[in-house]
Chains A and B, each alone.
Chain A
Amino acid sequence: MPDAVTPGTSSTLALRLEVETFYYDEAALLDGRRFGEWLDLLTEDIHYWMPVRRTRISAQLDSEFSKIGDMAFFDDDRKMLEMRVRRLETGYAWAEEPPSRTRHLVTNVRIVGVEAELITAESNFHLHRTRLNSDESNWLGLRRDVLRRESGALRIARRHIFLEQTVLLAPNLSNFF
């Protein structure tokens, strides 16, 4: 859960720049529909997860999000993400055929933990999608990632995605966040 606000660490400017550059490159791959190359940015043991959110009173906000192991919009390991990419490449994935036009905006990047080769980073995102002539969807939210350095390069070992919406105002979730 995105519980207490973790202050950004006094990490080096160089590290933050590296993480931001990584996110911008990742966004470019997704918006360029280069999903195979995007998969290369994920570790073998990635957990890609988007819980269900619901409106709760402030005293019960601890149950605002569903927990790992219960229902979620995404609860994927690498094999599942590869399957999703294969699906998009079949030419029969109608939610993306003709393809959507997406733009990922990634901002407010904060390094909130550094432990050996693991970097915990939070970022805000805005995924804008248009489809066909006039269909438009917007998703805003928080990503909390664990990045791991593998052979010198950053890889995503965990991505937890917390959307702002409770009832999703979109017909589907056919894109990556």
Chain B
Amino acid sequence: MNTDYRSMVDAGAGTVDRRIFSDAEIYRVEMERIFARCWNFMCHESQIPEAGDFFLSFIGEDSVIAVRDRKGRVGVFLNSCRHRGNAVCRAESGHVKSFLCTYHGWTYDLEGRLAGVPGYKSFYHEALERDKWGLIPAAKVESYKGFVFATMDPEAPALDEYLGEVGRVGLSMAAAHGDVAVVDGVQKNVLACNWKLAVDNLFDWYHVQTSHASAPLSGYLPKLPYSDDDQIVSLGEYGHAISGPRSTPEIRAQLAATTSKVPLFDERWRDTPEAAAALGPVGVASRGHPNIFPNLWIASSGVQLCLRLPRGPFATEIWWFTLIDRNMPAEQRRASVQRMNHTFGPAGMLEQDDGENWSQSTLATRSAVARRHPLNYAMNIGRGQISEAQQPGLPSIETSINEHAQLWTYRAWADWMAADDWPALKRDHAIPRGVV
């Protein structure tokens, strides 16, 4: 088949070839060229505070263990014994002294070193070079404000450079909520959709009125004072973006007046000097949703993170991480956690209705005739003036509801897919300038 990935995303016409959501070979290349190359979100530091605490995560479809060692550092290792490949960790999270392979008993310490081999003397005759057979480590592991990321590619830039201003602003929206820690209970479920259609939706402020019509009608979601005609889109390096409505001091005052115990709508944290310093003027005004390319959505203005993990072209695992200020009063914390339980996750008043849309969209990328016809991402196309005037380093568009961030995600996707390695990606990928 045609593997000219850039031809599958037509930025001029605003169309995307449906085959990118269903083709098995394209999916295989995504695992190699995107997930095995990019920085992947692992967990928040608060989930693994003590030596031996671990959280099982994924890089693409590779199971990886994020674990804190005795020196306090977080390591990330492939969850696969070097002998026969069996998983060395089968719990989703917990606490260990070491990782024991249940097949033949090879044992790895918290730094991934092969520490024990049954029969090392009698069967291996001490000829096994144990220092060469430790768990496969991530090429790099770094944290940004407590959010742990890992990459399997030694050529990847440092995390800070990878995130760029858009990624840093996005994560700072979460960090700005105080001394944040993950609330126990990562919600996980599987959707029958391609991972990109889930990611695509996080920028989509157009679907709310239809997909989520039942939320205001049932009395769950109050009318929020944001304007569909006053939106900000920021485009970041490597495909990161933030898109959604503008928040203003007037809107924040209005929201605060209607906020009781539940701080979800209370956006006054944006008016603090810390927020101004971390986010800049556009970041402060940006009530949109950030995505750290490829698959980390920073939702609800930073109190929840949603990870979309590919499970073949036709399945995606959705993981919700919830953050809350450790110092929040108990009553407010209870109300806030409950509100988050009610909004997102598979039983969420908003999220329940999303999955089937994405599944049906994915289905219609497989069939012979439907897949001949591209999807339409042309809303507002040719009207998006990109400018850094408001905040240097944060190229942004001020506009009405649009599909610029989605189209940028797919353009960046094509750049990642077309690049043979990190140097090629850096050379051939750039944030657009002028009008999109």
| Residues of A participating in the B interface, judged by any CB pair closer than 8 Å | 50-52, 54-57, 60, 63, 66-67, 69-76, 80, 83-84, 86-87, 90, 92-95, 131, 135, 166-174
Contacts and interface: CB of A to CB of B under 8 A. Distances in A.
B186 A52 contact: yes
Interface stretch (B141-149, B337-345, B393-401, B402-410): B337-345
Contacts, number: 133
A70 B91 CA distance: 20
B190 A168 contact: yes
A57 to B, nearest CB: 5
Given A52-B187, A76-B342, A168-B346, A90 B213 contact: yes
Contact of B94 (A60, A72, A172): A60
A95 B352 contact: yes
A57 B94 CA distance: 8
Contacts of B334: 69
Contacts of B186: 52, 54, 71
Given A60-B95, A72-B185, A92-B213, 19 more contacts: A54-B93, A56-B91, A57-B94, A60-B91, A66-B185, A69-B337, A71-B184, A71-B345, A83-B349, A87-B214, A93-B214, A94-B211, A94-B214, A95-B352, A167-B188, A171-B189, A171-B192, A171-B359, A174-B352
B322 A166 contact: no
B373 interface: no
B128 interface: no
B92 A54 contact: yes
Given A54-B93, A60-B91, A167 B317 contact: yes
A83 B217 CA distance: 10
Contacts of A63: 94
Contacts of B220: 83, 87
Contacts of A94: 211, 214, 353, 356-357
Given A71-B337, A75-B342, A167-B190, A57 B91 contact: yes
Contact of B90 (A55, A73, A168): A55
B218 interface: yes
A69 B220 CA distance: 20
Interface string B88-100: 0011111100000
B184 A172 contact: no
Nearest to A80: B342
**Interface extent on B, as a size class?**
35 or more
Secondary structure call for the B interface: mixed
Contacts of B338: 75
A171 B353 CA distance: 9
Contact of B349 (A60, A71, A87, A135): A87
Contacts of A87: 214-215, 217-218, 220, 349
Nearest to B220: A83
B99 to A, nearest CB: 12
B384 interface: no
22 contacts: A54-B91, A55-B90, A57-B94, A60-B91, A71-B183, A71-B187, A71-B322, A71-B340, A71-B341, A73-B187, A83-B219, A87-B218, A87-B220, A90-B213, A90-B218, A94-B211, A94-B357, A168-B188, A171-B355, A172-B346, A172-B355, A173-B346
Contacts of B213: 90, 92
A65 to B, nearest CB: 9
B351 interface: yes
A50 to B, nearest CB: 8
A64 to B, nearest CB: 10
B241 interface: no
Contacts of B337: 69-71, 75
Given A67-B184, A71-B337, A87-B349, A168 B189 contact: yes
Contact of A95 (B94, B317, B342, B353): B353
B262 to A, nearest CB: 13
A106 B353 CA distance: 27
A92 B184 contact: no
A69 B183 CA distance: 9
B322 A55 contact: no
A140 to B, nearest CB: 16
B347 interface: yes
B191 interface: yes
B174 to A, nearest CB: 16
Contacts of B215: 87
Which 10 A-B residue pairs are closest in the complex by CB-CB distance? A71-B185, A66-B185, A52-B185, A171-B355, A168-B189, A87-B218, A173-B347, A92-B213, A70-B184, A86-B218
Contacts of A173: 346-347, 352
Interface in B198-249: 211, 213-215, 217-220
Interface core residue of B192, B219, B356, B359 (most chain A CB under 10 Å):
B356
Interface core residue of A57, A60, A72 (most chain B CB under 10 Å):
A72
Interface core residue of A131, A135, A172, A174 (most chain B CB under 10 Å):
A172
Contacts of B345: 71, 73
